[in-house]
Structures are given as structure tokens and as C-alpha cells.
Amino acid sequence: MNRAPRAVLAVVLPVVLFVVVFAALPLAADGLVVKCGKLLDPATKSVKTNVAVAIDGRGIVASPPKDAKTLDLSGFTCLPGLIDAHTHLLLQGDATPAEYDEQVLKESTPYRALRAAAAGRIALEHGFTTVRDLGTEGAGFTDVDLKKAFALDIVPGPRVVTSGPGMGTTGSYPLLGFSWERKMPDGVLKCDGADDCRRAVRHQVQYGVDWIKLYADRSYYRTPDGGFSSIANYTPEEIGAIVDEAHRLRKKVAAHSVTPTGHRAALAAGVDSIEHGNVLDAETVKAMAARKIPYCPTITVADFVKGPRSRTNPIWDQLWAASQDSFRRAHAAGVPIAFGTDAGGFDWDKRNQAEEFSFMVAWGMTPWEAIRSATTVAAELLGPSPDGRLGCLDPGCAADLVAVAGDPLASVKVLEDVKAVVAAGKVVKGAR
């Protein structure tokens, strides 16, 4: 090859490569104007009529960009994209320990990732444009990969706030009960001792988690005086080291905690949210209300597991009964309640995580409070995303919007049938 063609190639080849690579990238969302018949603003608890929401790229702006397309939802009620602050994309229902073991032992991580992608699509189509995914259950940092794939629009899915494998201690978390001669996989990242737990937090941060999830307690049981207790998984030094290291690295900590034994350990260490909180005693409620520590009640999963698990251990029925009492007392005391369902603990394709709204209203919330829990309150817990603030529809908010037929303030049941979804400025489901 002589010099002249080589010089031409040197100029042309980078241009061709640039065009090929650029074409393969997802295009930024076009400008969009969404015309809403009604719009619920959870921040101010106000209802507006005939509102146009202007979207530029992935965010909401004050005025429509030039050549914006229109999505006509004038026959529907719009509200901000919903947030589920407690999910497991990489789980597909584990009513019994055997079902959990089967997924972790028999399903490869690539297969589980494919199922998780399907779960993400279901969440999105149900109107959940953001999820905080609290543990991959033996699938390492696959949630970080899912977050990336959804954000780049490789496959449709919600914005994911990640926590990697979650954290436990030796002997505290499945897989358990197998021969000591077998090396079984772990459903969590184990650490023992304060230094080891700091190292484990750093390990999680190294691979890109947004939050640290830890399991504060296990083995729930009744005490002779009729109360509930459990085994605290960590020593105060260990759980203190996890929270301190996480906060030092600017990460928040979510604690699975079912009984007061777990709550005391978790709150003393300074965690940022309590997950499940089935048994919230007076001392816990007082501390959480005073410090405005939110809890995710995960009522839908408690309803899902109580039947199958109570066949071998009646504690699950008892925890269900206690959950309702805890919810009512926490609500009355002003504890922030963030919408979180534990979807994945129940099958993504069999139950709609929006069922949680009806449980919350049945247990004493107003429809506004239930909607705020999945928007305003959950958004405050998660903080802003790179696309903008969450749980709102003002300029500067991420362009996440859902629409329903009917009035969710009259019946939150309509939230189980979302008609349109816009996520990060992209129409993922149009009105039917």
C-alpha cells in the first residue's frame, strides 16, 4: 500500500468508526410534552387540571423544547413515576427456603440476570420507574450491571439504586443446612469482626453499590412475656464499623430488621432505614420518629410468605398480625414510611407490587399518604438521581411520570392498572 491511500484511510477510518459506535448508542430521549387531564402533585398534596409537562432529554423543564412530540394523556390522571424502595430483581419468589435454595443452586447468574431483566420490565410497566434493589441473593454485583443496562436502554427497566450482595455474618444467612463437607454459595457477603466488616464495605463500594444493605437480625421467636425477639447478627462493634465505614464513604445503610432486638442494634449503629420492621415496639417507634428514620413495611411480601412459611413455623402468621399493629403505631407517631414491597420475595409476574398501596390504606393511611410514600417520602430517602430529583414533576425533576384512569385519591386500587409510563424522558408505555 502506498502512502496516499494510507493517509486517506487514517482520516476516513476514525470517522467510520465514530459513526458506527455513535449509531450503536441509545439516542437521548427527544423533547416531549405530556398533556395530563389531571396531575397529582404529592409534594403539595394538590390536584391540577389540564397540565402540560415539558420534557427535554431525561429531565422536566419549564417550557417545551422546539419540535417536541406530544403524548396526549388528557383523559387520564398523571402522577410522578413510582418508587419501590425495597426490591430484589434477582429473586423470583421464595415463599419457602427450598425455593430460595433452588434459585441460588440451580440457576446460573446469566440466567438469573435474564430473569431479572424481565422483572425490571414488569416493574417499569407497573409504573415503578425507580427501585432500590436491596440484595442480589448470591448474584454478586449483577444489580450494578442491570442498572447500567437499564440506564443505557439496552433493555427496558427502572432506574436502579444498587446494594450488591447485601451483608451478613458467618452462619447467619442462607444457604444453610447443607453438609459441612460441601462448600455452598452465600446469599450475602459475609464479614466477621470490625476490621473485616470495614473491608467488606470497601469491597462493595469498589464494585459500584449505591447503598449498603445489612441483615441486622434473624431467627425470630416469642418471648415468655408475649413479645418478639431474635438473634442480632452482628456485635455492636461489627455493625458500628459497617455503618461508620459506609457513611465515611458517603453511602447510606439499609438494615433488614424484624424485631426490637434488631432495631436496637441497627439504630444504635446509625442506619438510615429499617427494612420490614414487623415488630416496632414503643421505644423503637419513639426513636425512629424523633430521628426521622424511615421504614419500608414490605406488607405485600409478609402477606405472600405467611401461608407457606406458617406451615412449619407459626411465627410468620404472628409477624403478620404484629406488622399491622406496628404500621398503625409508626404512622400515628409520624415515622416516615417509605413504600417498599420486597418484590422478588414474591414472584414478579404473579403479583403487582402496587398492591402495597391498598394494604397501606387498609392499615390507616389516606390515599395521599400512600402515594406520597411511593414518591415524596421514598425520594427523600433515596436522594436525587443524576437525571434530577425523584418523586416530583417540577422543572429539575427526572422525567418519570405515570398515568392512570380514574381517581387514585378515591381508590388507590387504580394504581394497580397503570395506563402510561414515561421513564427518564422516554415513553415506555402509551395510554390504551
Residues that bind Zn ion (CB under 5 A): 342
Judge contact between 77 and 39, C-beta under 8 A: yes
Q: Identify the CA nearest to 210 among candidates 259, 262, 240, 250.
A: 250
Judge contact between 211 and 132, C-beta under 8 A: yes
Q: Which is nearer to Zn ion, 89 or 421 (CB)?
A: 89
Q: Which is nearer to Zn ion, 59 or 187 (CB)?
A: 187
CA 192 to chain centroid, in Å, comes to: 27
Q: Which is nearer to Zn ion, 173 or 228 (CB)?
A: 173
Residues whose CB is less than 8 angstroms from the CB of residue 309 and which lie 6 or more positions away in sequence, other chains included: 95, 96, 316
Q: Which is nearer to Zn ion, 143 or 342 (CB)?
A: 342
C-beta of 342: minimal distance to Zn ion in Å?
4
C-beta of 154: minimal distance to Zn ion in Å?
26
Residues whose CB is less than 8 angstroms from the CB of residue 383 and which lie 6 or more positions away in sequence, other chains included: none
C-beta of 187: minimal distance to Zn ion in Å?
11
Judge contact between 341 and 116, C-beta under 8 A: no
What's the sign of the alpha-carbon dihedral 238, 243, 244, 245?
positive
DSSP result, 301-319: HHHHHHHHHHTT-THHHHH
C-beta of 303: minimal distance to Zn ion in Å?
14
Q: Which is nearer to Zn ion, 94 or 387 (CB)?
A: 94
CA distance 219 to 235: 16
Q: Which is nearer to Zn ion, 298 or 358 (CB)?
A: 298
C-beta of 155: minimal distance to Zn ion in Å?
23
Q: Which is nearer to Zn ion, 77 or 326 (CB)?
A: 326
C-beta of 87: minimal distance to Zn ion in Å?
8
C-beta of 213: minimal distance to Zn ion in Å?
8
Q: The sheet that has 426-429: what strands, in order across it?
A: 59-61, 46-56, 32-41, 69-80, 401-404, 418-423, 426-429
